[in-house]
A and B are shown apart, each in its own frame.
Chain A
Amino acid sequence: MTLILLLACADPAPTWTAEAVLTPTLVRLDADGNGTLDKRELGKVAFHAPPFERIDRDQSGGVDAAELVALVKEQPPSTFFFPPMAAVSGKVDEPGRAGVGAVSEGKDRQGRGGAGSGPGARGPGGPGAGGPGGRIGGLLPSLLGEESRLAVGLGVNEEEESVLVEKDPLGPARRTDPPEPALGPVAEATSLDGAGEASTTEAKVAAEPAKAKDQAGREKEELIRRVLGTLIEEIRAVAPEEPLPTDPDRLAAVRSRSLNSAECRKVLAELEATSTRLGLDFPVSLKAGAVAAFEPEPSQEPAKALPE
């Protein structure tokens, strides 16, 4: 009975534990594979970190997964900026120099005090910056040896400092808005934004709606012609040897608005059949707008006969 119960109550998936969360990271750093991180192993990745002796809470000489968890929970990620490493500027920091002091002043990039900016925001991690992260981040990373000085990396090159603080690229200065983007290849086309300038005479005012409608109609037609041209270009790109269903003169006539609607529809139907057969989707605007766009204008030039 007991055996049956045990088999029936097979273990569910492993429980989530904090040590299991950090174990893969520990394994990655554990060069000698002994299950803990010694000073040298942790020193390869430590910066702005507490002293090793503090991380190694049980003073065993090695940081285990539980101690790594405590370290991760203890250290806030800085929401503002770490000072640049001296190595960036080519100058090597002197140990214990004012580079550390720059952090301990707890100033943010705007040169303000430890309160930082933003609602409830803090300045860069460092003493005086407030919160537990401030206390820990401000301690000299004291993993001993040359590696630790690199790990400190807190030297501040004055020229860089001026970029980050005094010059204040984030200050209220001088940002100019980028120019309105050109619309690329279609920018040369007629603007589709509609009517012209406001008039001051009654006659002009009265004529505005009709003028706007006419303008919009012409712009729509121009757009449709461009769509048509693009479609033909794509048919040719997909199937260069494919003869177009209509001769170039008929296509030119479609574009020139000299055909009546029925003929236009016929040309477009042939193009639609060709493009569909080639796997190209026929443009929606040619389906929906073609007829209206090519309606002959009233009392305009007489409809021309098709070229032979």
Chain B
Amino acid sequence: MWSLLPSLLLSACGTAPAADPAPPPNLILVSIDTLRADRLGAFGNPNGLSPNLDRFAAEGARFTQAYSQAVITAPSHASFFTSRYPVEEVGSGRAPALGPDKPLLAEVLKIYGYQTAAFVGGGDLNPAMKLNVGFDQYNSPEDFASLWRSAPAALQWIDKRDHTKPFFTFIHGYDTHVHYLKPTPFGYLYGDLGYQGPGQLAVRTGTERLVHGKLLNDTSPLDIVHSSYLRNYSEEAVADLQARIGRSRRPAQSTNTDDIEFVRKIYDGAVSYADAQLGLLMVGLAERGLLENTAVMVLGDHGEQLGEYGYFNHCCGTHDEESHVPLILRLPDRMSEVPRGVVHTGLVELVDVMPTLLELAGAAPPGEARGRSLMPAARGEDWKGRDYAFTTGNDRMRSVSARGPKGRLTYTGVYAYAAIVPDLIEAASLTGPGFDAQPADLDLVEKAKMRTALVTWLRSLEPAPRQAPEELPPALREALRARGYWDVQ
């Protein structure tokens, strides 16, 4: 009898060893648009903005030095759906120039027997952007929608799925995107409801008008915000912008530090809102008993400037504020041998997402995949991050950037699909206006190393061919421009 005790104990706990190999896990990828890593407690923020994401991270593995490869939504999602860099995907249009040589994550998973569905917030993920390939269902009912809409819809689909096959669900929401103001109680959770100033207009409309200490009322100078004019935020560029504002037909309102702090606090409220939506999704999965055999990955597709360089929004720069994103992987509960709550500080790129999820599915990544699986790290094995992470600016890629362990080097003013770009970068002086560094006092030797890495990386890529800008549906074009994407044709 005593020899049977261990088996009895195991049986009583419902953890009897399975006779058959475990089925491939379900996969859920959650993208919280415009979520900065530095707003999460699990990534060092002390203000308690994200209790649910912090708990999620404690149950999984978090990568604290993950960087997006683009700073706007469409090319960033394309990069982690294909494990290719934006230079290789985006020609002169906005939508990625995807082709048969760039299979998407959902396409590969379908080959391996997964049923696939996406629930997205439209906008840059509107079907017109062609990222719906490979999904059995691609639900994009509204532009710039929140997880409030997409997460429940995903749970409904999960309930009705074919239970004989594993599933891959992509869930996306613009919860931390402009406009920042979210419903009660989150909208004014940190910002003062009684505040009376220009920030109230900014958080209810779009923040791209908040530029270098001014809230612009006339939209004509807004073209400058997304132009290379502000590329280096030089004193001359700022002064010229302010002169143009002064000449505009409608004067701008001046803003002070209180106004900027108010807007930032409203963004923080949006973070807490997104955090709650993620928490409610986890509740839905738990109630359905899905956490036992489902891996959930949460990431931000890019960050957001919150006035650190004089403007708000994401568009033009590749600084940490716009590219440092949360990346957290929670493995299925049945993988009980895996350590939980592990923190990985090595450099990671979002192109690593596809190989990671494919390894979980038992699938091989495409040969051209630029990323590498993070599963060794997630399993607690010996793992080292990348030497550098690379990011390109807006969809015309007027800046390219290398992020190393000691900081970031950015070169601005080029079109990355031009073959001459690596040569130009190599020829430019590190002390000249083409480059800027984070931190600003990064030493020259380190900058030189990062420049070499940047040039070597660019030379290793296959730039996407030029293509005519795609015809976007008029309603989508308006919606994108309403959200501050002023370069949309």
Q: Which residue numbers of A lie inside 8 Å of B, CB to CB?
A: 4-5, 8-9, 12-13, 15-18, 20-22, 24-25, 28-29, 42, 44-49, 68-69, 71-73, 75-77, 79-85, 87-88, 90, 109-110, 117-122, 147, 150-151, 153, 160, 163-164, 169-170, 174-179, 181-186, 189, 192, 223, 226-227, 230, 233-234, 237-238, 278-281, 283-285
Which one of B48, B204, B476 lies within 8 Å of A84 (CB-CB)?
A: B204
A181, chain B: closest CB distance, angstroms:
3
Q: Is the CB of A184 within 8 A of B433?
A: yes
Closest-by-CB residue of A relative to B204 is A82
B455 at the interface (CB under 8 A from A): yes
Not counting A118-B479, A283-B426, a sample of 10 additional A-B residue pairs whose C-beta atoms are within 8 angstroms of each other reads: A16-B291, A18-B280, A29-B185, A46-B185, A77-B148, A77-B182, A181-B231, A230-B426, A233-B431, A279-B449
Contact of A5 with B448 in the complex, beta carbons under 8 Å: no
A54 CA to B389 CA in the complex, in Å?
50
Distance in Å: Cβ of B240 to nearest Cβ of chain A = 12
B430 within 8 A of A: yes
> Which B375-434 residues have C-beta < 8 A from chain A?
398, 412-414, 420, 423-424, 426-434
Q: List 14 A-B contacts (CB under 8 A).
A: A4-B9, A8-B12, A18-B279, A44-B188, A47-B187, A72-B276, A119-B122, A119-B476, A121-B122, A121-B475, A170-B478, A170-B481, A178-B229, A192-B420
Q: State in angstroms the CA–CA spacing of A153 and B184 once bound together.
A: 14
B184 touching A75 by the CB < 8 A rule?
Answer: yes
| A48 pairs with B184, CB closer than 8 A | yes
Q: Name which of A12, A25, A47, A238 has the most chain B CB atoms within 10 A of its CB.
A: A25
A28 engages B452 (CB within 8 Å): no
Residues on A with beta carbons closer than 8 Å to the beta carbon of B412: 184
Distance in angstroms from B284 CB to nearest chain A CB is 9
- Chain A, Cβ-Cβ closest to B144: A79
* Pair B280/A88 contact, Cβ less than 8 Å: no
A18 to B279, CA, bound (A): 8
CA distance A164 to B205 in the complex (A): 9
Contact A184 B413 (CB under 8 A): yes
Contact B286 A281 (CB under 8 A): no
0/1 string, B143-177, CB within 8 A of A gives 1: 11110110000000000000000000000000100
Q: Residue of A at shortest CB range from B431?
A: A237
8 tightest Cβ-Cβ pairs between the two chains A and B? A181-B228, A178-B227, A21-B279, A87-B196, A281-B452, A169-B219, A118-B143, A75-B183
Residue contact A24 to B273, C-beta cutoff 8 Å: no
For A169, the chain B residues whose CB sits under 8 A away are: 219
- Residue of chain A at shortest CB distance from B250: A163
Contacts A83-B204, A233-B429 given; does A77 touch B146 at CB 8 Å: yes
Contact B272 A25, beta carbon cutoff 8 Å: yes
Choice from B145, B186, B444, B459 contacting A234 with Cβ under 8 Å? B444
Q: B227 and A186: CB pair below 8 A? A: no
Whole-angstrom distance between the alpha carbons of A119 and B139 in the complex?
Answer: 11
In the bound assembly, the distance between CA atoms of A241 and B295 in angstroms comes to: 58
Q: What's the nearest-Cβ distance from chain A to residue B113, in Å? A: 28
Contact of A81 among B205, B433, B456 (CB under 8 A): B205
| Chain B residues positioned under 8 Å from A49 (CB to CB) | 183-184
Is the CB of B142 closer than 8 A to any CB of chain A?
A: yes
In the complex, residue of chain B having the shortest beta-carbon distance to the beta carbon of A182: B413
Identify which of B140, B398, B478 contacts A181 (C-beta below 8 A).
B398
Quick check: A25 and B427 within 8 Å, CB to CB?
no
* B282 and A45 contacting across the interface, CB-CB below 8 Å: no
Contacts of A237 in B (CB 8 A): 431, 444
Task: Give bound CA distance, A115 to B223, whole Å.
Answer: 29
- Chain B residues with CB under 8 Å of A109's CB are 482
Q: Chain A's nearest CB lies how many Å from the CB of B399? A: 11
Contact A17-B283, Cβ < 8 Å, known A79-B142, A82-B179, A88-B198: yes
Most chain A CB within a 10 A radius of its CB, from B181, B198, B479:
B479
The prevalent SS among residues of A at the interface is: loop
Any chain A CB within 8 A of the CB of B373?
A: no
Choose from A118, A151, A181, A234 the contact partner of B142 (Cβ within 8 Å).
A118
Please indicate the chain B residues that have their CB under 8 angstroms from the CB of A42 in the complex.
184-185
B363 at the interface (CB under 8 A from A): no
Question: Please, which residues of chain B bring their CB within 8 A of the CB of A120?
Answer: 141-142
- Taking a contact as CB atoms under 8 Å apart, the answer to whether A280 and B448 are in contact is yes
Complex Cα distance, B221 from A169, in Å, reads: 12
Q: Is B226 an interface residue (CB 8 A)?
A: yes
Decide if B445 is an interface residue (CB 8 Å cutoff).
Answer: yes
Of B182, B201, B280, B481, most buried by chain A (CB within 10 Å of CB) is B201
Closest A residue by C-beta to B287? A16
Query: Shortest distance in angstroms between A50's beta carbon and chain B's nearest beta carbon?
Result: 9
Say yes or no for B486: interface residue by CB 8 A criterion.
Answer: yes
Q: Provide the bound-state CA to CA distance between A81 and B142, in Å.
A: 14
The distance in angstroms between the C-alpha atoms of A184 and B427, with both chains bound, is 12
Q: Which residues of A contact B204 (CB under 8 A)?
A: 81-85
Which residues of chain B are near A82, meaning CB under 8 Å?
Answer: 179, 181, 204
Q: Is the CB of A47 within 8 A of B141?
A: no
User: Are A8 and B143 interface neighbours, CB within 8 A?
Assistant: no
**Which residue of the partner chain A has the closest CB to B13?**
A9
Interface string of B213-236 (1 = CB under 8 A from A): 000010110011011110100000
A88 partner, pick from B51, B201, B451, beta carbons under 8 A: B201
Give the distance in Å from the alpha carbon of A21 to the alpha carbon of B276 in the complex: 6
Given A25-B185, A81-B205, A280-B445, verify A285-B426 contact (CB < 8 Å): yes
Tell yes or no: B294 within 8 A of A by CB: no
Q: In the complex the two chains form, what is the Cα distance from A281 to B449 in whole Å?
A: 6
Shortest Cβ distance from residue B435 to the other chain A in the assembled complex, whole angstroms = 10
B258-306: which residues lie under 8 A (CB-CB) from chain A? 272-273, 276, 279-280, 282-283, 285-286, 291
Which B residues are in CB contact (< 8 Å) with A122? 142
Which of B143, B148, B205, B231 touches A121 (beta carbons < 8 Å)? B143
Across the interface, do B427 and A223 meet the contact criterion of CB distance under 8 Å? yes
Nearest-Cβ distance from residue A124 to partner chain B, whole angstroms: 10
Q: Are the CB atoms of A230 and B427 closer together than 8 Å?
A: yes
Q: Which chain A residues lie closer than 8 Å to B426 at the CB level?
A: 227, 230, 283-285
